[in-house]
Amino acid sequence: MSPNSQSTPARLTAPATVKLPRLMLFVLAFAYIVAGLFGRDPWKTDDVVGLATMLTAFNAQGHSWLLPHIGSFELTQDGPLVMWVGAAMIRIFGPMIGVIHAAQLATTLWFAMTLGFVWYGTYLLGRRAEAQPLALPFGGEPTVKDYGRLIADAASLLLIATAGVLLRLHETSFVPALIACYSLGFYAMARMLDKPLVGSTMLGIALAGAFLTRAWPGVLALLFAIPIAFLPRGALWVRRFWLIWTLLLAIGLGMGWWLAGMHIDPDWMSEWMHWNRQAFGLPDSSVALRPFSDLPWFLWPIWPLAILALWQWRRWMTAPHILIPASLVLGLFLLLPILSESGEHEFVLLVAPMAVLASFALPTMRRGVINTLDWFALMCFSVTAVCAWIGWVALHFGIPHGIQLNIQRQTAGFEPVLEWWRVIAAVFVTMIWVGMVIWRLRRHPSVLWRGAVLCAAGITTTWLLLVLLWMPAVDYVRSYRPMSAQIKTVLDKISNNGGPNCVRAQGLSLGPQASLYVFDNINFTYDSSCPFVLQQTTRKQLENDTAGYSDGATVLWIGSRGADRFDRYRLLRVKNK
């Protein structure tokens, strides 16, 4: 059946598309991204690793402005795009707000791009004839503009409401940038329907951006999606020749960096190509499906709505508002089987297109089903808000005792300090949520965006409460700053006493290595004559005397990160052979 407004599954009246106040949308998005991004230390591992590459590029150490490094360590699994943007932010805003906060501004840029591209791309698709709701016999259906705006608002709100992407969108890592590039790819394909030159150019930039962010594992999902979106029966088929320009632009931008890298540091590029080859392969059958067990939680609440959209619009599968986001989802699922490992780094790419699909499910749902979404948001996020407060009370006042004991095990050594400004702000946030609950229960609004707003506001409320009430404890558990300061003190004492100003790493993972560089500019050397070694081991290995360096080494310092019960770190003076 060909798409037409006479038989569309969407049923909607004009009152249901009353405009969502722009201020509400902007404040919600602002609160969501700012909370938990600033006012904390960078956490392990992707968060602090991304920040370390930005600082290294800013300090212009060697070729680090072109090829990502952590100090002198070559980081060959990442591309340079995130590093470039972060270093630029540090250059511009660092003198005013500090280098860490300046680097974190880059994350707000990626988030704004993601939300903007998702909103505008959905708006373009929502205004097309194939997506319009059924025309009512006596009028009263929404205008094309109002309907498109409603769907775009819903897509943006549902993206914010997605549980699994919450932490990832607040990292100074490649993940927010990759989501932004994927969202740009979605917008570009929607734009190609009416402005092929602009759309094809944007699509080329999206491909190049994804490549410069995460190399081939980052760009292949978008590449796989393109031929699906340009199926012969689809509306994009007539624009297929513009893909020549898209590919030429993407190849030109990507090859420009690759050729420069080969000229400046062929060894780095060789390791980069080796990492790309290692990223692909048949996954271990025993663990291949394990990451997928987290998908229902990761994509909640958009995945049931996305599936419903595919079912309700099944006779319109070649219509752009279904085919384009569905192609992006399918492109990612085509990539997963050929990756040697898959997980959250790949799953985040599903969020934007599935949020778009979910938004097109809303006008096809009956009022009772929509009310279910409302009640889910009200109950679920009211419970999470209460839990955040209960945990805070247990942490500070020891009630309930059982919860206090569990928290103490997870935050061993942490001494809570009552900060009243946090409590007052948390009470204010809680009252706003209570106000939204009352609004829904008393007013019984007919607007279709109410469920999406409640979900987005609910997860933002929970996030704000966790940030306000729990951030000091979480920072203590996840930050390496105290440990880095202790190591720096010992190294400075050695240097001040005339000892060599160097340290090597042994078994040190990326998280602590990047943290020591970020917090105290500790850069590790590869010179085997350096007598000082920072070793990462475990408590069990130390107890069993299997950690290595048992003979002829002097332990200068031993410690761990916060309440870490497993890993241990030792600063050793070893005898060179």
- The band of 2, judged by pLDDT with boundaries at 50, 70 and 90, is very low
* 9 in a structural domain: no
* 7 in a structural domain: no
Q: What is the mean pLDDT of residues 358-380?
A: 92
Q: Are residues 251 and 344 in the same domain?
A: yes
Q: Are residues 156 and 259 in the same domain?
A: yes
Q: Please tell me the predicted confidence (pLDDT) of residue 356.
A: 99
Q: Are residues 322 and 388 in the same domain?
A: no
Q: Are residues 474 and 486 in the same domain?
A: no
- The band of 287, judged by pLDDT with boundaries at 50, 70 and 90, is low
Taking the CB of residue 455, how many other CB atoms lie within 10 A of it? 26
Q: What is the mean pLDDT of residues 460-476?
A: 96
The answer to whether the beta carbons of residues 473 and 391 sit under 8 Å apart is no
> Looking at the predicted structure, is the pLDDT value of residue 548 above 60?
yes
Q: Are residues 95 and 175 in the same domain?
A: yes
Q: Please tell me the predicted confidence (pLDDT) of residue 577.
A: 60
Distance CA 291, CA 561 (A): 27
Query: Residue 402: which of 415, 391, 417, 387 has the closest Cα?
Result: 391
Please report, rounded to a whole number, the percentage of residues in the chain having pLDDT higher than 90: 83
* 277 in a structural domain: yes
* 4 in a structural domain: no
| 215-273 pLDDT per residue, tens | 999 999 999 999 999 999 999 999 999 999 999 999 999 999 999 999 999 999 999 99
* 198 in a structural domain: yes
What Rg, from alpha-carbon coordinates, does the chain have? Answer: 26
Q: Please tell me the predicted confidence (pLDDT) of residue 5.
A: 45
Q: Are residues 399 and 418 in the same domain?
A: yes
Q: What is the mean pLDDT of residues 84-88?
A: 98
Provide the number of structural domains found in the chain.
Answer: 3
Q: Are residues 154 and 111 in the same domain?
A: yes
* 3 in a structural domain: no
The backbone torsions φ and ψ at residue 104, rounded to the nearest 5 degrees and listed phi first, read: -70, -20
Q: Please tell me the predicted confidence (pLDDT) of residue 552.
A: 77
| 401-455 pLDDT per residue, tens | 999 999 999 998 899 999 999 999 999 999 999 999 999 999 888 899 999 999 9
Q: Are residues 445 and 493 in the same domain?
A: no
pLDDT, the chain, mean: 93
Q: Please tell me the predicted confidence (pLDDT) of residue 294.
A: 86
Chain mean position to CA 333: 19
Q: What is the mean pLDDT of residues 106-114?
A: 98
| 474-494 pLDDT per residue, tens | 999 999 999 999 999 999 999
Q: Please tell me the predicted confidence (pLDDT) of residue 341.
A: 87
The encoded tokens of residue 256 equal: 């420009």
Domain enclosing residue 570, as ranges: 481-574
* 8 in a structural domain: no
Q: What is the mean pLDDT of residues 42-62?
A: 92
Q: Please tell me the predicted confidence (pLDDT) of residue 388.
A: 97
Q: Please tell me the predicted confidence (pLDDT) of residue 289.
A: 73
Distance CA 509, CA 512 (A): 6
Cis-peptide, bond into residue 45, ω within 30° of zero: yes
Q: Are residues 468 and 343 in the same domain?
A: no
The answer to whether the beta carbons of residues 79 and 68 sit under 8 Å apart is yes
Beta bridge pairs of residue 574: 553
Task: Find all residues with CB under 8 Å of 85, minimum gap 6, and list them.
Answer: 106, 109, 110, 177
Lowest mean pLDDT among 312-316, 424-428, 489-493, 547-551: 547-551
Please report, rounded to a whole number, the percentage of residues in the chain having pLDDT higher than 70: 97
Q: Are residues 473 and 502 in the same domain?
A: no
Lowest mean pLDDT among 286-295, 411-420, 506-515: 286-295
- The band of 286, judged by pLDDT with boundaries at 50, 70 and 90, is low
Q: Are residues 450 and 379 in the same domain?
A: yes
* 379 in a structural domain: yes
- Domain end point (choices 478, 509, 538): 478
| 142-194 pLDDT per residue, tens | 999 999 999 999 999 999 999 999 999 999 999 999 999 999 999 999 999 99
- Domain end point (choices 478, 512, 542): 478
Q: Please tell me the predicted confidence (pLDDT) of residue 52.
A: 97
Taking the CB of residue 145, how many other CB atoms lie within 10 A of it? 13
Q: Are residues 340 and 223 in the same domain?
A: yes
